[in-house]
Structure 1
Amino acid sequence: MQLKLLGVVLVLCFIHFTYVYGLKANDTGVCAVTRSVKKTQRRVYIVKYKCGRKICTTRRSKIKDYIVTQNDILCCTGYTYSSTLDACSPLCSRGCLGGKCTAPDVCTCEPPATLDQENKNACYLPTCQPQCINGLCTANNTCTCSHGYENVDNTCQPKCDSCTNGQCISPNNCECNEGYIKKNDLCSLPICQPPCINGTCTVNNSCTCSRGYENVGNTCQPKCDSCTNGQCISPNNCKCNEGYIKNNGLCSLPICQPPCINGICTVNNTCKCSLGYEQVDNTCQPKCDSCTNGQCISPNHCKCNKGYIKKNGLCFLPICQPPCINGICTANNTCTCSRGYENVDNTCQPKCNNCENGNCSAPNNCNCLKGYAKSDGVCKPLCVNDVNLTSNKCKCVIGYKNDSDGCYKPCREDCVVCDVSGNCTSKNNCG
């Protein structure tokens, strides 16, 4: 019984420990386990027995079991033997993705990676939106700025000891704002006498004129490409002298009110219209030789009114023969059918999805032929009730009898073959 119990203890020990050679008892993850080992020993003893009148002796032996204890060096629970390191390494049962297993079931991440707080077995790099420039993303949406930079609204901006009237573009590198000059590492305004109007004092007593201005006598005056009979009051803005009006950017005589468009103002408030235009209420309007049912939009260019088409330069209503019923005549003898109709031989006929054994009288309205009735939207042979699923036959109306393919009016006795309506199709006479 004791041997069986000892065997169970040994099995349990080997479940939790890995037996290896060459480990030291004091190493990390190493356990010393004492275990019992069963051994055998042969013992010799002397047996006496009678042999006649004498007492004889003989040697006999038997095997006897005994137990000894011994110490084994093993990897403790939570560790596994590494042949590469010749040591017991910690074991993470669920893995350690992107990190290092530093203790049994303990996954450690290398900064800035962080441990998945839910599963504790994977390392993830944090993400920053916007992207962390000039720094390191140490946690989700958290930037740790590099040396010489500071966090401003979660972005790393360069730092300058002093950057008044300028912009710090890199650590301790200040770029002066427009109009300022750097002097003794400070941005200051230059001084101009007289003051620099319509320009920038870039150097003491030196003006750099703004775009559209030119330096005249150390003052910035506006420039105009052409300003005859006028005064340049701002870049390319010429104010005409009294008595002149501006025409195509030039100051010219005379003055017409309203302005003379599509013509030339030859006398005050009198326009001479250009070729192809005529004077209407002191304005020059385009002329068209004929523009009935349309609008003249430029010389001899007539735009037809809605519903009219142009033919030989004239606007006409389109004509369709035969007349366009259930549609619109959009061009001569061309119908554009209304919704639910289709063009068949240039006439608009109603459309039905399925109208076999019937006539389509209106869009999706099918009238069944005589001898047919509508069932499930389809014209089928006449039958009062639906098909009987048991006998697969129709129940016919009074006066008709059922046959293999529908309901027929019964023949009289003197008729051999009748049609569906009871008319004799062979010989004799049918009622």
Structure 2
Amino acid sequence: MTTTQFKMYLRIFSVLIITGTVAAQLKGPNVCTRQEPYTTIIRVSKQQPYQVKEKAWCFSMLPRCTKYSIKFRQVFRTETLTKYRLVEECCEGYAPDADDEQCVPVCVESCVHGKCVAPNTCTCAHGYGGPSCDISCPNGKWGRNCQNDCRCLNGGTCEPLTGDCACTPGWRGDACERACSPSTYGHKCDEICQCKNNATCDPSSGACNCRPGFTGPLCEQECPVPGEACPQNCRCQNDGQCKKFTNDCECTAGWTGDVCANRCPAGRWGEKCERPCECANGASCHHVTGKCQCEAGFTGEKCLDICPIGTYGVDCAHTCTCEHGGACAAQNGSCTCRPGWRGPHCQLRACDDAKWGPHCDKDCDCNPETTDLCDPWTGTCECAAGWGGDTCSRQCPLLTYGKGCRSTCRCENNGLCSPINGSCLCAPGYRGLHCEEKCPYPLYGDNCADTCDCHNNATCSHETGQCSCKPGFDGLKCDRPCNGKTFGLYCRQPCDCENDAPCNPVTGECVCGPGYTGARCERHCEPDHFGQGCSQPCNCSRHAVRCHHVTGDCICEDTWRGVRCETQCSAGTFGAACSEACRCANNSSCAADSGRCVCAAGWTGERCDRPCPERTYGAGCTQRCPHSLPGILFFSYLC
């Protein structure tokens, strides 16, 4: 084996193993990426439901009812997960350079008198040709024995082996016989002329030749004197600057050529086109900014990333249309179908509906009523929403729903979940998309459709509508106050009061009737007072023993009579010798000397013929009726 052959095989070997050995820090162009699968073990948590038996009040008294609720506990399991990572490597036909930093092209046959510029492509030195730049002919000749004459015109040179013409800028055609069209210029005539006002464009450099009356790099300015020629001081385009003495152009970033009319060559950008593009996967870069312009199927700042799954094309702007798990090519969206599927979008089964297997000779075991699909390759049943199991014969377990029962219900507060679409049927007392909201007062029950009927500021169960009474009230609707002998929550506490006194239905504090006092209403009023709260002084003459502690009626000494014990006349008389007849009504008495009526308790007026005004009672109508306690008969008095 010759040294040349050994070097050739060594280069081929390096290309073959490059996929597994290139580091991930490659720079510059010709870097490609691929997705590499790898496995990892993860710990997955899951909320596992379980039932809890609880006791709850059904009514305001025993017994209590049994109630079941769903609670959750966290459980863990390990899973082996296949993930994908992007691996950078040299594109096909490229290999890392000696420093393992950039990908350089590989030519299987070395370029003898030239440079390898692309995979298996040599750029030959002047006068040499052939795939390996090993053929040389005199100027104007080509062929193996250089016996053929070149036919290239206008300065074009011919390739020594094939005779193909390489045209100079401004010319095109097989023999370089055609000049660029007026609107194009440059190498292969691929630049667009920018000249204005019908100026012509130099086919080689792109410099503008202005018509009379115009000037400027692009002939965009009118001369000071219309119609006359004016000097074209600086012909530099694209903001290029003329050097002071030579008038040569100094180009801005991204431009080159005599008048800065040519973009940087492919793979270069920036000042003097010195910076190499650093774009991967065959992307080009903008000649001014260096920004990568990704090929279809790639994205990212340097076009290193493959389009996200489900998208393809330029800028990953298109949506894949592959069905049944078919893989979508990131470049053009073409589908690679899983086994068992066919068609441009993998939409067609390879087997009949009820068959599966490589030869379509096996029968599907899926329940036809609850199965969406029998996989034509594996026979696996793809269950309809709400069904699971190997043959799709089992309804989704509790708290799962959807296709294959793979989704977890999100219903709260014991709401029931539809096994088909996961919609929630709320328990009584709740509403909302996920049954997350309690019924607002005063609503309760299914769908919060019922209205509570509770009184006296009682609260209402949002689930059952059961009333929870405030202290002092009882009954299913809390509409029955305590009866005066009990107090507190549901009127269960007995009052501790004497002399038939009721107690406050909320606090149990005794409410004494007229004539009684003390914490338990156990004492009569003092002898000189009577009535409600013992607040009324007795209104009796000095001939009274005392007044009644409840009514204030005067209790007279022997021989004395009258409401105030003010006379010794018999009832109904007054005056000298008690000879005058009183005209006082309602058992009232009259003054012994004047006959003025002294009204009995509960009456007023000149003749004591009018009852006390509303909310008053007693002697002289001076006592106020007590504040009413709802539903309580206040002793035997009617005010």
| Higher strand fraction (1 or 2) | 1
> Shorter-chain-normalised TM-score: which range?
under 0.3
After TM superposition, the score normalised by the length of structure 1 is 0.26
After TM superposition, the score normalised by the length of structure 2 is 0.19
Higher relative contact order structure (alpha carbons within 8 Å, sequence separation ≥ 6): 2
